[in-house]
Amino acid sequence: MTTSLRRLRNYIDGEFRDAADGRTTEVVNPATGDAYATAPLSAAVDVDAAMAAAEAAFPAWRDLIPAERQKVLLKVADRFEERAEELIAAESENCGKPIALVRSEEIPPMVDQIRFFAGAARMLEGRSSGEYMDGFTSIIRREPIGVCAQVAPWNYPMMMAVWKFAPALAAGNTVVIKPSDTTPASTVLIGEIIGSVLDELGHPRGVFNVVCGDRETGRLMVEHPVPAMASITGSVRAGMQVAESASKDLKRVHLELGGKAPVVVFEDTDIAKAVEDISVAGYFNAGQDCTAATRVLVQDSVHDEFVAALAKAAAETKTGAVDDEDVLFGPLNNANQLKQVKGFIDRLPAHAKIEAGGHQVGDKGYFFAPTVVSGLKQDDEIIQHEVFGPVITVQSFSDEAQALTWANDIEYALASSVWTKDHARAMRMSKSLDFGCVWINTHIPLVAEMPHGGFKKSGYGKDLSAYGFDDYTRIKHVMTSLDG
């Protein structure tokens, strides 16, 4: 006897729809390893339908005064709060995340971020207009771009969807968003929530659309002639593919890709406090975070003390069931990700030492133990490449110059942190670290008002903040003669 699976559907032009050809994929709960739903495997005809809906809705949505778009987003934020338990349940099943942590660490910032961009909708600023040529006045218009094709990742399906749709809608664009094929449930629910608000307030249903599918579906979205912009949060490989595809018709591209954050710990820092904070920032969400504190560089004089304390913290960090309130993180997202993390551990060089963890936990689901690896060299695979799992590496450095060289000696450039009581050193390091964010004596806090985005192979464009809002607008110069 088999248990029937819940049927997830695309949300296009205000309606739930199956893929036109009826194809589906199974959606697995990573905490159990069992399928719990099916989702559409959307093809070109489904993408066409979503793009047509978004394109048709764009003129009316673009032409709304910003205050009206603000009303929509504020009501969406209210609905997120009202339906928080539904969103939490969907995300927990999507990702195997601890319910208590989704409730405390994801819902509040998501609501706050939507409200921030609701306010940003009314702050479409340009540089001063005026007369820069005799007899003419110049005016700057900041306008929406058009239809945005957006691809969200599986590590934070709900929150990354918010980071994409909130600035896009606030600026007057319409959206077609594709969740990861492993985590579609919460995004489909978001589609229904936004669609109901649009309907209530009398706006076109096609302003926001959700298309489920795989990489091929994402490719079809990016290469489709309708969108004026493609936005993706994902791997470096996926970002390169999107940039290449978008180049065929010169779409604007917004990329938030991988990371390998250096965490530079100097000998004068409070080691106990640093270990406490770094272990949380490294293991939260099973290390499946582009900004995770998973590459630690420690000054040699306190290296052994730090490693011993971090190994102890790892041993005391708990992973497990979604309803266990003592759990810090849940499983890895899928079987392939578990295989990848195991592969990094299996391929460790002989000089590396596993100080804690290093193994799968249990025989059901995709859980992996909090892990600490020491004795590593700068050119080791696990130092140079993103593990995206609950694995913290530790290297020993001698002085500030060496720490800075090793910190920057990486292809990624998303986030970093410096741990020291020396203010001048913190300022020198923050100036020279080649990363989009530098935290000092902390790691991983984000606020809606400040930008998030990296350099080098971590991509380009900003999420959050007024800078992220600007990315979803275009600038037009209007010049008028004063002669009448």
| Domains of the chain (ranges, CATH numbers) | 6-257+458-477 (3.40.605.10), 262-447 (3.40.309.10)
Which of 106, 192, 223, 256 is flagged as catalytic?
A: 256
Indicate if the alpha-carbon torsion angle 382, 387, 391, 394 is positive or negative: positive
Strands 130-133 and 10-12: unpaired
Residues 6+ apart with CB under 8 A from 26: 5, 35, 37, 38
pLDDT for the residue numbered 4: 87
Q: Is the confidence at residue 1, as pLDDT, over 60?
A: no
- Percent of residues in the chain assigned helix, strand, coil, to nearest 5: 40, 25, 35
Strands 353-356 and 455-456: unpaired
C-alpha distance from residue 60 to each of 172, 202, 203, 375 (Å) = 9, 11, 8, 60
Pairwise CA distance, residues 462 & 452, whole Å: 5
| Residues found in the chain | 484
The answer to whether 143 is a known catalytic residue is: no
Under DSSP, the state recorded for 106 is I
> Region 453-480: what's the mean pLDDT?
96
371-374 β-sheet, strand order = 353-356, 371-374, 391-397, 295-299, 262-265, 415-419, 437-440
> Region 272-292: what's the mean pLDDT?
98
pLDDT in tens, 195-219: 999 999 999 999 999 999 999 999 9
> Region 371-379: what's the mean pLDDT?
98
What distance, in Å, lies between the first and last C-alpha atoms of the chain?
Answer: 81
The whole-chain average pLDDT of the chain stands at 97
pLDDT for the residue numbered 123: 87
Of 253, 245, 240, residue with least CA distance to 220: 245
Radius of gyration of the chain (CA): 23
Q: Is the confidence at residue 165, as pLDDT, over 70?
A: yes
Pairwise CA distance, residues 211 & 224, whole Å: 13
pLDDT in tens, 3-52: 689 999 999 999 999 999 999 999 999 999 999 999 999 999 999 999 99
Q: Is the confidence at residue 471, as pLDDT, over 90?
A: yes
Percent of the chain surpassing pLDDT 90:
98
Question: DSSP characters for 312-357?
Answer: HHHHH--B--TT-TT-SB---SSHHHHHHHHHHHHT--TT-EEEE-
pLDDT for the residue numbered 2: 46
pLDDT in tens, 407-427: 999 999 999 999 999 999 999
C-alpha distance from residue 146 to each of 60, 65, 139, 172, 464 (Å) = 12, 16, 21, 8, 19
pLDDT for the residue numbered 3: 62
> Region 118-140: what's the mean pLDDT?
91
Of 426, 376, 429, 420, residue with least CA distance to 402: 429
Question: Is pTM, for the whole model, over 0.85?
Answer: yes
Under DSSP, the state recorded for 450 is S
The answer to whether 95 is a known catalytic residue is: no
> Region 162-175: what's the mean pLDDT?
98
Helix (H) or strand (E) holding 362: none
Q: Is the confidence at residue 395, as pLDDT, over 90?
A: yes
Which of 95, 148, 212, 290 is flagged as catalytic?
A: 290
